Amino acid sequence: MTAGTFGGNAVTCPACGGTIELRAAGFTVNLACHHCGSLLDVSRPEVALIRKYKRAKENFALELGKRGTLFGQEWEVVGAMRRKDQITIWQEFLLFNPYLGYRWLVACDGEWQFGTMLADRPQGPRDRVYWRSTPFTRMGRDQTTSTTAVAGEFYWRVKAGDTATATLFQSGDTMLSREVSAGEENWTQLVPVPEAEVEIAFGLRRRSLPRRKAARGPMLFRPSIGMEQDDLGNMFKLALAVSIFAAIAMAVIAGPTTAASTLIQVPVGGQIAPVKVGTITVRRPWQFVTIEADANRFENRWVDLEYNLVDRSSEQSIDAFGLVEHYAGTDSDGAWSEGSRSGDTMFGHVPRGTYDVYVSGSAHGWPVDPYTIDGWGSVETINLSIEASTGAMSWGMWWTLVIALFAWPLTLLWWRFRDK
Amino acid sequence: MTRRLILYALFCLALLAGALFAAFNAYSFYSDEEDRPVASGQPGPSHK
Amino acid sequence: MPVRGASLPYATCPYCQTLILRQGLDIEDVGKVAVLPFDVSPIQLGTTLMAEGRSMVVVGRVRWAWTGGSWNEWLAMADSGAQYWLAEAAGMFMLTAEWPQLLDRAEVRAFAEGGTLTPGDVIEVDGRQLFASDIKQVECLGSEGDLPIPTQIGMKMTSVDFRSASGEVLSLQRDDRATTAWFGDSWDLVSLKPGNLRQIEGWTVPGELR
């Protein structure tokens, strides 16, 4: 322990020799020297050096030693801390008036709160507490907070790296904060203060304010302290509601439906010339046309299908392709199969008009085509039912929307569990 | 209501508007025209 | 120097920092007392308080230190002669009166005989549950005024505070000579209706305290 000197209301830093004004003499326990950042113990007549530092001044939004009036009382800024949890970083200022004791000013996400320590402890179960007969509802889960930087004077042993478990409770504008550290439980009442009032009272170093949400790109969705959980349920509800609404709206917009169908036989190892499936009509300016091919039972075959939508008035053709394939076999892992005996093909952005639908195709065996004529002298064919219709919606687009909608809340949820 | 919930609601509205616009014009990322399924190679099982 | 009532046998001489014990007509020099460090407490010797319908005046002060800091205990005397300790920490106050009937409790007696208490231990006083929250070894840093206990440099004691949810406090204090029990409540300065507060340089006394 290096002893410094303690005279009147000024102390000499035992680390750098600088003079530090002691603003809350008799109350202050720890002091961070504003010249060198060293942490001092001033609770006894001889000043003790706790930890020596040599570093630049920490920048806080309020200057230590500033005096101003808040809620009709004069306060002096005596201490400043930078704290963080997994979601945000904020600043806390310790205000002092020898006749009134200590108060807190908390700056987080562009909002300010004025804090008063409670002598009486709120009572109640985990999610709801009563303080002076007002019920307060828990906001979010417990957060582990840590102190990353300190400056000025504190009435307890403070140091960078201190951690506490914080829980917030809310009733209207008022919040109660419970902090538990080293077995000690402290409650603070927090009420909002307009930033303008803080600025009038103490002046603001805006460049040192904790960064606002908007400055943070993906952290745009970062909540104010304690609010990080509250809105997650609502986000999921909103995503679900929009998903359901979109499914209905997309189905309604996609209509009306017309359909045509036929049956075709495709020889394996051969092909068929275009067959007319039927006529369908696109009744809206643009619609989807879907063609569904369903085959009978086959194995280790594939069928290439080509569809043509021929516009009756312009004779223009829109082409698309479909594939039906199914394979099965046995290997060291047992039986396997893959593929599907039916296939959907979708034409997007088909303009209004009447279309004749044609299908042509070829079928093949895997790994090689079988003999085209079996022992009975008949050709192996694959039977397919082809149905063309207008008025379907694109479920692919709907699923894309659903994934995009749920991406944010799921990311937030993932963050939370990763933090745990 | 939190600020980010409002932002998220706006994000949902924008997505919904996009999806409905695409539905009206029958646009889809997954339509098959001109997109021959075997173009990438021979058909056959990918099973090894 | 004025020496008040026989119930306060110790006095600190403000000129020579000597602790004096008064027994009958004899005055005995007990030892030296450290100079109190400068502080900005709003209380001073002579400050008057009004609590629970009783008016009292501050006549002495002890400054205690523990590993987590130091604080003032002000001794207030009511008109009736009853003694109160006003503990001042972080701008909050606890006013306690001696509660000797508690010393008959088994758990308190065990502590008085050298037993230990652990945080969370419960004691019931006046139908309220109080939990041991603060257990510390304290050391006297200095004193002023009239006091019921000797406060030489280096005087040590064990202090245990029990608290209830609504702010009541029970303080057990054990030194070489005896154990005492003090029971009271948490206060803020305004509700103590103080008079004759100290004028602290650079600050004005807030309106509600004048």
Contact A25 C39 (CB under 8 A): yes
pLDDT band (50, 70, 90) for residue A376: low
Interface chains of chain A (3 or more CB pairs under 8 Å)? B, C
Cα-based distances in Å from A139 to A166, A168, A172: 11, 5, 12
Give the tens place of pLDDT for each residue, B36-45: 655 445 667 7
Q: H/E element holding C50?
A: strand C48-51
CA torsion C107-C109-C111-C117 (nearest 10°) is 10
- Residues of A with Cβ-Cβ distance to B6 under 8 angstroms: none
Q: What is the mean pLDDT of residues A8-30?
A: 87
* Crossing angle between the packed helical segments A232-254 and A395-419, to the nearest 10 degrees: 170
Q: What is the mean pLDDT of residues C146-153?
A: 83
- Residues of A with Cβ-Cβ distance to C65 under 8 angstroms: 43-44
Q: What does the mean pLDDT of chain B come to?
A: 79
For chain A, what percent of residues have pLDDT higher than 70? 90
Question: How many angstroms away from the CA of A98 is the closest CA of chain B?
Answer: 38
Q: What is the mean pLDDT of residues C50-59?
A: 92
Amino acid type, A286: W
pLDDT band (50, 70, 90) for residue C81: confident
Most confident of A2-11, C32-41, C62-71: C62-71
Q: Assess C208–A contact: CB distance below 8 Å, yes or no.
A: no
This model of the complex carries an ipTM of 0.90
pLDDT at C196 over 80: yes
pLDDT band (50, 70, 90) for residue A221: very low
Here the tokens at position C62 are 């002890």
The phi, psi pair for A238, rounded to 5°, reads: -65, -45
Listed range (A35-44, A376-385, C46-55) with the worst mean pLDDT = A376-385
Residue C178 region, left (φ>0) first, then alpha (ψ -120 to 50), else beta? beta
- Residues of A with Cβ-Cβ distance to C197 under 8 angstroms: 99
Rg (CA), chain A: 37
pLDDT at A37 over 70: yes
More confident residue, A124 or A308: A308
Contact A401 B29 (CB under 8 A): no
- Residues of B with Cβ-Cβ distance to A327 under 8 angstroms: 44-45, 47
pLDDT at A222 over 50: no
Q: What pTM value is reported for the model?
A: 0.63
Q: What is the mean pLDDT of residues A232-237?
A: 86
pLDDT at A209 over 70: yes
Largest CA distance in chain A: 117
Contact A221 B9 (CB under 8 A): no
- Residues of A with Cβ-Cβ distance to B36 under 8 angstroms: 321
Q: Using an 8 Å Cβ cutoff, are C132 and C125 in contact?
A: no
pLDDT score at C15: 80
For chain C, what percent of residues have pLDDT higher than 70? 96
Q: What does the mean pLDDT of chain A come to?
A: 85
pLDDT at A225 over 50: no
Q: What is the mean pLDDT of residues A43-71?
A: 85
Strand-strand pairing, C48-51 and A163-171: unpaired
Name the interface residues of A facing C (CB cutoff 8 Å).
6, 8-9, 24-27, 29, 43-45, 73-74, 96-102, 117, 119-121, 123, 155-157, 183-184
**Touch criterion met for A and C (3+ Cβ pairs within 8 Å):** yes
Q: What is the mean pLDDT of residues A284-310?
A: 91
| Burial of residue A244 (number of CB atoms within 10 Å: 0-12, 13-18, 19+) | exposed
pLDDT at A362 over 50: yes
What length does chain C have?
210
Q: Using an 8 Å Cβ cutoff, are C161 and C134 in contact?
A: yes
* Nearest CB partner across the interface for C92, out of A8, A24, A119: A119
Closest to A419 (Cα-Cα) out of A83, A159, A84:
A84
pLDDT score at A230: 62
**Touch criterion met for C and B (3+ Cβ pairs within 8 Å):** no
